[in-house]
Structure 1
């Protein structure tokens, strides 16, 4: 299976800037953080601008947090921007400004979890690691386990299966990581899999059993957006992003239909370190 998927990837891989040979480990790390729960089409222009402004961890670490949050734009989950900023500072302090290739050292950085550390090790350094994102989990669930989708949360058995599939050779393992992710993103999609275009369709356990439906569908819910705290938080952040000066509470009233909800979201943003309130009671992005 691995050989077929990587051979397919040789022809089908998207030409993404963070996959190119001239991309630095820092560029790969930034891309992996930005791509969390965010589609490529939204990430690519922001990634390009970030790498133009802050091509090294040292450059980002020296930037004001407010500037970093503004540059994050509308990617969503802005805590990722602050984590990247903190991560850059930690790389400067602990690793002389160079992204480490050791998985444990990567996981010790702010905002870098198991998946991101493994992905950076594979994609930035070409080293063997077990890279398992949502796309890979779905590919393995269908081809090997015969289920429509993976369990809502990763299991030990699932991780053991993923580990067993990864080739021993560094280069082959890194290629498999990229190829299996791409297969899940482009062909073995969640809602409309393109089985006719799959290089391992004849090996797929899910297809062989007649594409049985997802047994856990009742536990999977699409996250609501309109009227949620997340939407209100996004509107507050958007208002602060374009403001040259601290913004009065009255000017944020349109961020949500309920004043209590706006106040709750402001309090949450302050607690998360994304917003500050000055002595006049106005709101702004964090100052150095």
Structure 2
């Protein structure tokens, strides 16, 4: 598992990007794995290898915003604060906004704050998350009434699939020539590689990944950054 392979910031920060991406597969967007690795390096260099507790310090780390910082404080350190994720949001929309659409989180925040079990936020939020998941199974999903609700687009044939296929090929096979990389990606995306704009999409995805810190692009070779 992820935690057994990378049990500490030091272990993650010192790992090769290829191994990080292989271990991350199936856990979410690849950019989050890169952000975690970069955050681990910052934790080593600026916080003595210990995850900081202050929200401002957490938000200074790569890829960490308000939600992640507050979630870390609540779940890792048992510190009170407003945490709103999809299942918690579902509970509050179901009970407090049964007839409203496009409800923004700013209207939920005072309610989450007022009902928070401050002496044990970790257990309280776990309970809310479980309850929200159960509500979705028995009710029309209340989360759809949130202003932040959106349905994720189809993965197959998408730009996201091309990006993921590039990273999968390079993490599994090592550096490749542009031609070999194109063939590897085409093999993974299947019939979607027959689209007339596939080459353009492949180039655009590779350039994006390089700009984000994943790849090193050469004239004759493409590889993951170390």
Normalised by the shorter chain, which TM-score bucket?
A: 0.7 to 0.9
In structure 2, the partner of 1:44 is: none
CA contact (8 A) 1:141 1:150 kept: no
- Quick one: distance in 2 between partners of 1:83 and 1:95? 17
Match of 1:164 among 114, 120, 142: 114
Residue 123 of structure 2 aligns with which residue?
175
1:262 and 2:202 matched: yes
Q: Does the residue aligned with 1:242 lie in a helix, a strand or coil?
A: helix
Q: How many Å separate the matches in 2 of 1:142 and 1:276?
A: 48
Relative distance call for 1:85 and 1:130 in structure 2 (3 A) is: same
* Deviations 1:236-255, CA, capped at 9 Å, x for gaps: 111112103x1112122415
Aligned residues: 214
Separation in 1 of the partners of 2:94 and 2:80? Answer: 23
Which consecutive residues of structure 2, in runs of 5 or more, have no partner in the other structure? none
1:249 maps to which residue? 178
Distance 1:61 1:174 in 2: 27
TM-score when normalising by structure 1: 0.66
**Aligned pair 1:240/2:170, yes or no?**
yes
| Inter-partner Cα distance in structure 1 for 2:34 and 2:146 | 35
Q: Give 1:163 shift.
A: 1.7
Match of 1:22 in 2: none
Identify the residue that residue 202 of structure 1 maps to in structure 2. Answer: none
Deviation, 1:67, is 2.8
CA distance in 2, matches of 1:53, 1:124: 19
What SS does the corresponding residue of 1:83 show, helix, strand or coil? helix
The CA deviation at 1:224 is 2.2
1:42-121 alignment, distance < 5 Å: 48=1, 50-121=2-73
Structure 1, 235-244 or 248-257: larger mean CA deviation: 248-257
Q: CA deviation at 1:133?
A: 0.3
CA contact (8 A) 1:57 1:88 kept: yes
Separation in 2, partners of 1:91, 1:117: 14
**Shift, 1:97, TM fit:** 0.7
Q: 1:84: Cα distance to partner?
A: 0.5
Which ranges in structure 1 are unaligned for 5 or more consecutive residues?
1-47, 196-205
Q: 1:160 to 1:235 in 2, by over 3 A?
A: same
CA distance in 2, matches of 1:221, 1:194: 20
Distance 2:126 2:10 in 1: 28
Cα distance in structure 2, aligned partners of 1:222 and 1:54:
29
Q: Residue in 1 aligned with 2:138?
A: 194
Residues 7-38 of structure 1: CA deviation (Å, up to 9, x unaligned): xxxxxxxxxxxxxxxxxxxxxxxxxxxxxxxx
RMSD between superposed Cα atoms in Å = 2.7
